[in-house]
Structure 1
């Protein structure tokens, strides 16, 4: 998907990082296991191995490798966002925020919302607020609004803030966005709770 002016997409080979996709993204089909938090549905031993490998890579991946991944297609961006989120590499906050607000590519936004929730600061909450202000009014657009609200709810609970309240009030932006589709009408509260639970499930693993 692309609904803002597209940010440049560059193949990692063009910047001498041609190894990064095979190393971090497609190895063991990692991106598929990250997609939608699919790794949580793995068996216990396989999930533990996946988590350990992701944690190790998150700690050792270089800035140049992260930059190459974030500059490429959705699988690479999704994976890179998880890597910086797991290790809480907050120096990537601005770039992650730019990519979320541009919202160019399907699925990558899942990773951006996770990363911002992991970073856990007031600046991350402000990015999520900006995203929701921009995209909730577009009732026909089904991008990452749900996970963004879930991430913001998590940050509010941790920061003692209440940024999500103005979106979630009766007949507010969130309810109108949810109610825009017949099959989700009337589920605004349940969807908000489910989105928060999903983000919590992804983030709580790394606090252990």
Structure 2
């Protein structure tokens, strides 16, 4: 099987409807219902269509390609990419792709994913100068609470603080 050129993959998966910009800004989540459904259907269709090789190529590309790859991986629940996504978080390689990594790990919904997201959230909240405004902070607590269980979740001061902050819009 021949590899598709990175330019072809970018044009196919990142550019339609300014997809990578919508994924970065999260604007598709603020769209009206019809637009949001249309966006989600297009993402799901492309997630089904993309091969593991294409997703790997996108993941190794620039931030626009990697961001799109993470979301496609999440939509397709391609858990074979779990180790790579965990590595990116633990090695601080999320940058612009944070929302996509968080989405994919939340879709996998495993205990190890919750632990990685919890670790990132605690780090992000304790070191904001290093992590900036972490894109996934506002959505991590629900994933962590669901996978870790209420008791383990409640033991984390940072997570309790984050949940309280979510209602204020501080991380949106």
Instruction: Kindly indicate whether residue 83 of structure 2 is the aligned counterpart of residue 91 of structure 1.
Output: no
Structure-2 change in CA distance of 1:189 and 1:132 (3 Å)? closer
Instruction: Kindly indicate whether residue 24 of structure 2 is the aligned counterpart of residue 35 of structure 1.
Output: yes
Q: What's the counterpart of residue 67 of structure 1?
A: 56
Matches within 5 A, 1:28-177: 28-104=17-93, 106-143=95-132, 145=134, 147-148=136-137, 150-157=139-146, 160-167=149-156, 169=157, 172=158
Alpha-carbon distance, 1:74 to partner: 1.4
Structure-2 change in CA distance of 1:44 and 1:192 (3 Å)? closer
Which of the numbers 5, 29, 33 marks the counterpart of 1:17?
Answer: 5
TM-score, normalised with respect to structure 1: 0.67
Alpha-carbon distance, 1:160 to partner: 2.8
- Give the unaligned 5+ runs of structure 1: 1-14, 176-187, 199-208
Q: What's the counterpart of residue 191 of structure 1?
A: 165
Secondary structure of the 2:95 match is coil
When structure 1 is superposed on structure 2, of 144-153 and 123-132 the one drifting more is 144-153
Alpha-carbon distance, 1:64 to partner: 0.8
Q: RMSD of aligned C-alpha atoms?
A: 2.9
CA contact (8 A) 2:141 2:159 kept: no
Quick one: distance in 1 between partners of 2:149 and 2:160? 21
Deviations 1:135-169 (A, max 9, x none): 443242244646246324334235535444343x2
Alpha-carbon distance, 1:90 to partner: 1.2
Quick one: distance in 2 between partners of 1:194 and 1:163? 24
Bigger Cα Rg: 1
CA contact (8 A) 2:59 2:65 kept: yes
Alpha-carbon distance, 1:105 to partner: 5.1
Deviations 1:83-127 (A, max 9, x none): 111121111111111122233353211110111111111010121
CA contact (8 A) 2:118 2:140 kept: no
Q: How many residue pairs get matched?
A: 168
TM-score, normalised with respect to structure 2: 0.79
